[in-house]
Chain A
């Protein structure tokens, strides 16, 4: 402000001079001196020659006109020498000539606000009479020449808003008359020179928006007359020097957005003239010194975005002139002090957002009747809002979001007629919206989302005709959307998602012509889209998913050309989807699970930014338009569960970013194309339940990011390609019910992340590959059923420790169930039926139903009949007599072990009781060591039985007994 005043007075005086000159000068002065290099006019014309003057500001700088009549010049009384040159804002460009140095009488030079480039000529340092030098707002580059320091009479130096770089020359400290130094908005680096402290008469020091670093020099205290010190937006570090407090004249102190640290010096409280204090965006810590309450002239205070902690000590009662207090983004705790405000205060803005403040809504604030904006968001305030809130008659913004407020909104809120913004989201408010809200004619934004409010949306809300934003997301509002919603002509955001709203969309909504976002998803709304929607020409996003909307879309929706996001999924819309294709800007179109019919419009390809196209679960017919291949940003294409026919267009191979390609459950036909393998980003490919034929393309092995590959229920033939082994990320692989033949490739073992594998109902043959046992993460199911697999079951399958379901039924498998299957401890569904297996069922399988084993050659053991002598005759390795002997031996030895153990236990138990008794009056240490020995001695033998079904006699059988013997004991 001060600077502007100075500038204005300078301008005024120049104007005056012009006027006087024009009146008094009648006769022309001899111009013979023009060729003389000792006159100012000679040098001025040379200076002019280096300037470009598109607006003609220098047009009358001509030898034929007396120099004192030249535009922008001020002459001395003797009319021979120039004392002032003001070409501010004249549109001139070019360079500042070094010839200026010859204008020795020059006292004021103002070339500000032009398009000058190049550097500041060091020759300017020769202008010994110069008092004012203003070059701000140009395109000057280079350093500030140190010769500037020679201008011993200089009072005003303003060089800001240029591209000056380098350090602030320390010679500036020589300018002992300087009152204004402005170098803001340049690229200056280095530190603030300590020599600044020599400038005893400095009134304004503006260093803002540079790259200054280092400390603020203690010497600054030498600037005794300093009123404005602005050094914001630099990289200053260290503490704020406490000597700043000695700058008694200081009115403005702005050190915002630096990296200053340490506490706020209490000495700042000595700055009794301070009206503006801005320290935002530093790393200041500690508490806010209560001494700052002495700053009785302070009008604006911003300490936000620091690490200030402890409780709030500042009081509006003391800071009587305070208009703005911003303490946001600190770590302040406690509540707002009870004597914070007083009637008649001037406080207009109070921002305390994102601190750790707590307590109830501060009733004290209600005394600040002048307050316009209150932001308490992001704290831990709780309790109800006071009904006397309407004492704040000047309130325009009430920002209380993200706290823990409870209770309902007081109806008195309708009395705050000045209210424009009401942000109450992210609290625990309950109850209804008071109808009195309708009295808030100036209300612009009402955000109540993420609360527990209920009841209807009052019709009266539509009286708030200034509303531009309504967000009630995530409450329990019920009933219809007010029919009169169309009165809100300025509404741009209407977000009512996740409530219990019912009824239709009122036709008047079409008159909210500025609407850009309409989110009605997750409600119980019904009916159809009113034709008036075609008036919503600015709408970008409509989300109606998870409602009960129905009926065809009005054709006129195709007039909505700005639509970007459409999500109508999970409704009952029917008819053609053509009305939704009017926009070329679509990014998301999700119509999943409706009753749309007709074909997929090829015009969709005009929306080149489309990345999600989901049309699944409808009744769409016809073919997949080849034009979709133009959608190079397509990420998700879901056309599943429709009645689509024909081939998959090869043009889709151009959709290189596609990650989800879901075409399952249609009537698509043709061969499965090799180009699928070129979709490198593919993570999910589902072509199941179609009529695809031909081979599984080996190229699919190129889709190395594939997680889910579902090709089941088609007519695929040929072999499973070995390249499947390249799909090392694959989780789910399903080839069920095709006509595949040949072997399962051994490469399958490279699919180490496979947790679900189904190849059932094919014509696969040969042995089950041993390598399948290497796919150890198989978990959900391994289904090889209904194929032509033969040979023995590889024992490696016993490594599938996580496998929960195994189906090998309806094959031609032979031999025994491998003993290793005993390790399949996770298994809970097993089907080995309809094979040619024989021999003993592993004991761990005895809990499975009969059906798991039916229709084999000679399987025996639980749950089937026990193995008779005849059953195992081919493969029996031990004679029956030997088996009997082993069984008897084992039963005997285990009984013996049991008895021995019982004896040992009894003895130990007796000992232990003694120990326990002694430890009651003795020490814990003893007990501990005793017990330690005890466990060491007996840990192996005392281990619990591995299986519930063991009889009492085998309950303490040794764990190290090998698997075979264990099974034998079970069979008995």
Chain B
């Protein structure tokens, strides 16, 4: 009897994926993100994974080819962590998650977002390092990580980001020296305030993460 029950349960389970498969990879990624987040204000209520794509979900914006280009969850009282699935939104241009209670590390997979223009993670509880993979974000113009709990040093890979206009890491626990090359020449001091930086880098004199 029980094996029959197991069998029938098995076949029921097998039917399920068929229903949920009608989502695309971006929808899957967003849905995986949703599962990590606690959302007391129900801002993610409209995220229905059974829809053909995620373009009609609120706080998600797509381009004309139905690729997700914006994620706007700033100031939405969400908490939880970010996961590697964020790296599976290859067309994303704006990642706006500022002013929430998001904790944990910044997933290095975000570095795969080749089209990312703006990453606003400021005013959260993020910890750990700034991923080195950010050096791959060739389109990135705005990177605001201020007011978190980030530690470690500023990865030198970031000096190759030719388009970077804004780099704000103030009010974290970062250490080491501040890069002076590339666009870092022009970032104002306020962007580095309230950290444990030992000062600007003097090329060749000390390792940039010295004292970290």
Give the B-binding residues of A (Cβ under 8 A).
Answer: 232, 254, 256, 278, 280, 300, 302, 304, 324, 326, 328, 349, 351, 353, 373, 375, 399, 401, 423, 425-426, 447, 449-450, 471, 473-474, 493, 495, 497, 519, 521, 543, 545, 567, 569, 590, 636, 659-660, 683-684, 707, 731, 752-753, 755, 777, 779, 802, 825-826, 828, 909, 912, 928, 931-932, 935, 938-939, 942-948, 959
B189 at the interface (CB under 8 A from A): yes
Give the contact stretch, choosing among B106-114, B127-135, B150-158, B179-187: B179-187
- B residues near A948, Cβ cutoff 8 Å: 185-186
Q: Which of B1-55 contact A (CB under 8 A)?
A: 2-3, 6-7, 10, 14, 17-18, 21-22, 46, 52
Give the A-binding residues of B (Cβ under 8 A).
Answer: 2-3, 6-7, 10, 14, 17-18, 21-22, 46, 52, 56, 58-59, 72, 74-75, 94, 96, 118, 120, 141-142, 165-166, 177-178, 180, 184-186, 188-189, 198-200, 202, 205-206, 210-211
Tell whether, in the assembled complex, residue A302 and residue B189 are in contact, meaning their CB atoms are under 8 Å apart. Answer: no
Tell whether, in the assembled complex, residue B142 and residue A326 are in contact, meaning their CB atoms are under 8 Å apart. Answer: no
- B residues near A753, Cβ cutoff 8 Å: 74-75
Report how far A683 CA is from B46 CA in the complex, Å.
Answer: 10
Given A909-B205, A947-B186, A256:B2 Cβ within 8 A: yes
Given contacts A519-B22, A755-B72, 17 further A-B contacts (CB under 8 A): A256-B2, A280-B6, A326-B6, A349-B3, A497-B22, A521-B52, A659-B46, A707-B59, A755-B96, A779-B94, A825-B165, A826-B166, A931-B206, A939-B200, A942-B200, A944-B185, A948-B186
Which 9 pairs from chain A and chain B are nearest by CB? A939-B199, A935-B199, A935-B198, A944-B180, A959-B189, A324-B3, A683-B58, A278-B2, A944-B200
- A residues near B18, Cβ cutoff 8 Å: 447, 449, 471, 493, 495
Given A351-B6, A909-B205, A423:B166 Cβ within 8 A: no
In the complex, what residue of chain B is closest to A495 when comparing beta carbons? B18
In the complex, what residue of chain B is closest to A401 when comparing beta carbons? B14
Chosen A-B contacts, 20 in total, with CB atoms closer than 8 Å, are A300-B3, A324-B3, A326-B6, A349-B7, A351-B10, A373-B7, A399-B10, A399-B14, A423-B14, A426-B17, A493-B18, A545-B52, A707-B58, A731-B72, A828-B141, A928-B210, A946-B186, A948-B185, A948-B186, A959-B189
In the complex, what residue of chain B is closest to A425 when comparing beta carbons? B17
Report how far A875 CA is from B134 CA in the complex, Å.
Answer: 47
Tell whether, in the assembled complex, residue B165 and residue A826 are in contact, meaning their CB atoms are under 8 Å apart. Answer: yes
Report how far A735 CA is from B58 CA in the complex, Å.
Answer: 21
CB distance from B187 to the nearest CB of A (A): 8
CB distance from B39 to the nearest CB of A (A): 14
Which residue from A349, A636, A938 sits with its C-beta under 8 Å from B56? A636
Which residue from A302, A401, A659, A944 sits with its C-beta under 8 Å from B184? A944
- B residues near A802, Cβ cutoff 8 Å: 120, 142
Report how far A497 CA is from B53 CA in the complex, Å.
Answer: 14
CB distance from B157 to the nearest CB of A (A): 19
CB distance from A818 to the nearest CB of B (A): 18
- A residues near B205, Cβ cutoff 8 Å: 909, 912
CB distance from B159 to the nearest CB of A (A): 12
Q: What's the dominant secondary structure at chain B's contact region? A: mixed
Tell whether, in the assembled complex, residue A328 and residue B6 are in contact, meaning their CB atoms are under 8 Å apart. Answer: yes
In the complex, what residue of chain B is closest to A450 when comparing beta carbons? B21
In the complex, what residue of chain A is closest to B177 when comparing beta carbons? A935
- B residues near A349, Cβ cutoff 8 Å: 3, 7
Tell whether, in the assembled complex, residue B10 and residue A777 are in contact, meaning their CB atoms are under 8 Å apart. Answer: no
Tell whether, in the assembled complex, residue A943 and residue B3 are in contact, meaning their CB atoms are under 8 Å apart. Answer: no
- Find the residue from B59, B120, B206 having the highest chain A CB count within 10 A: B206
Report how far A326 CA is from B189 CA in the complex, Å.
Answer: 64
Report how far A495 CA is from B18 CA in the complex, Å.
Answer: 9
Report how far A939 CA is from B18 CA in the complex, Å.
Answer: 61
In the complex, what residue of chain A is closest to B120 when comparing beta carbons? A802
- Find the residue from A326, A474, A493 having the highest chain B CB count within 10 A: A326
- B residues near A425, Cβ cutoff 8 Å: 17
Given A942-B200, A944-B184, A945-B185, A280:B2 Cβ within 8 A: yes
Tell whether, in the assembled complex, residue B166 and residue A660 are in contact, meaning their CB atoms are under 8 Å apart. Answer: no
Tell whether, in the assembled complex, residue A932 and residue B3 are in contact, meaning their CB atoms are under 8 Å apart. Answer: no
- A residues near B14, Cβ cutoff 8 Å: 399, 401, 423, 447
Report how far A300 CA is from B4 CA in the complex, Å.
Answer: 12
In the complex, what residue of chain A is closest to B42 when comparing beta carbons? A705
Tell whether, in the assembled complex, residue A375 and residue B10 are in contact, meaning their CB atoms are under 8 Å apart. Answer: yes
CB distance from A64 to the nearest CB of B (A): 48
- B residues near A302, Cβ cutoff 8 Å: 2-3, 6
Report how far A870 CA is from B190 CA in the complex, Å.
Answer: 36
Report how far A932 CA is from B22 CA in the complex, Å.
Answer: 58
In the complex, what residue of chain B is closest to A960 when comparing beta carbons? B189
CB distance from B200 to the nearest CB of A (A): 6
- B residues near A519, Cβ cutoff 8 Å: 22
Tell whether, in the assembled complex, residue B199 and residue A942 are in contact, meaning their CB atoms are under 8 Å apart. Answer: yes
Report how far A473 CA is from B2 CA in the complex, Å.
Answer: 32
Tell whether, in the assembled complex, residue A660 and residue B185 are in contact, meaning their CB atoms are under 8 Å apart. Answer: no
In the complex, what residue of chain A is closest to B94 when comparing beta carbons? A779
Which residue from A353, A909, A931 sits with its C-beta under 8 Å from B10? A353
Report how far A474 CA is from B22 CA in the complex, Å.
Answer: 10
Tell whether, in the assembled complex, residue B142 and residue A826 are in contact, meaning their CB atoms are under 8 Å apart. Answer: yes
Report how far A286 CA is from B178 CA in the complex, Å.
Answer: 52
CB distance from A304 to the nearest CB of B (A): 7
Report how far A828 CA is from B188 CA in the complex, Å.
Answer: 17
CB distance from A231 to the nearest CB of B (A): 13
Tell whether, in the assembled complex, residue A828 and residue B199 are in contact, meaning their CB atoms are under 8 Å apart. Answer: no
Report how far A254 CA is from B74 CA in the complex, Å.
Answer: 53
Tell whether, in the assembled complex, residue B52 and residue A567 are in contact, meaning their CB atoms are under 8 Å apart. Answer: yes
Report how far A932 CA is from B206 CA in the complex, Å.
Answer: 11
- B residues near A493, Cβ cutoff 8 Å: 18
CB distance from A938 to the nearest CB of B (A): 7
CB distance from A517 to the nearest CB of B (A): 8
- B residues near A351, Cβ cutoff 8 Å: 6, 10
Report how far A945 CA is from B206 CA in the complex, Å.
Answer: 20
Report how far A909 CA is from B210 CA in the complex, Å.
Answer: 17
Tell whether, in the assembled complex, residue B185 and residue A931 are in contact, meaning their CB atoms are under 8 Å apart. Answer: no
Which residue from A254, A375, A928 sits with its C-beta under 8 Å from B211? A928
- A residues near B188, Cβ cutoff 8 Å: 825, 946, 959
- A residues near B56, Cβ cutoff 8 Å: 636, 660
- A residues near B189, Cβ cutoff 8 Å: 943, 946, 959
- A residues near B178, Cβ cutoff 8 Å: 944
- Find the residue from A300, A543, A636, A753 having the highest chain B CB count within 10 A: A753
- A residues near B6, Cβ cutoff 8 Å: 280, 302, 304, 326, 328, 351
Which residue from B46, B180, B210 sits with its C-beta under 8 Å from A931? B210
In the complex, what residue of chain B is closest to A755 when comparing beta carbons? B72
In the complex, what residue of chain B is closest to A302 when comparing beta carbons? B2
Report how far A909 CA is from B186 CA in the complex, Å.
Answer: 25
In the complex, what residue of chain B is closest to A325 when comparing beta carbons? B3
- A residues near B142, Cβ cutoff 8 Å: 802, 826
CB distance from B9 to the nearest CB of A (A): 10
- Find the residue from A684, A909, A935, A946 having the highest chain B CB count within 10 A: A935
Report how far A586 CA is from B58 CA in the complex, Å.
Answer: 24
Which residue from A254, A423, A826, A942 sits with its C-beta under 8 Å from B2? A254
Report how far A636 CA is from B96 CA in the complex, Å.
Answer: 25
Report how far A358 CA is from B199 CA in the complex, Å.
Answer: 52
CB distance from B73 to the nearest CB of A (A): 10
Given A304-B6, A942-B200, A752:B75 Cβ within 8 A: yes
- A residues near B206, Cβ cutoff 8 Å: 931
- B residues near A828, Cβ cutoff 8 Å: 141, 165
Tell whether, in the assembled complex, residue B166 and residue A779 are in contact, meaning their CB atoms are under 8 Å apart. Answer: no
- B residues near A280, Cβ cutoff 8 Å: 2, 6
CB distance from A810 to the nearest CB of B (A): 27
In the complex, what residue of chain A is closest to B210 when comparing beta carbons? A931
In the complex, what residue of chain A is closest to B58 when comparing beta carbons? A683
In the complex, what residue of chain B is closest to A937 when comparing beta carbons? B199
Report how far A925 CA is from B6 CA in the complex, Å.
Answer: 65
In the complex, what residue of chain A is closest to B206 when comparing beta carbons? A931
- Find the residue from B3, B14, B202 having the highest chain A CB count within 10 A: B3
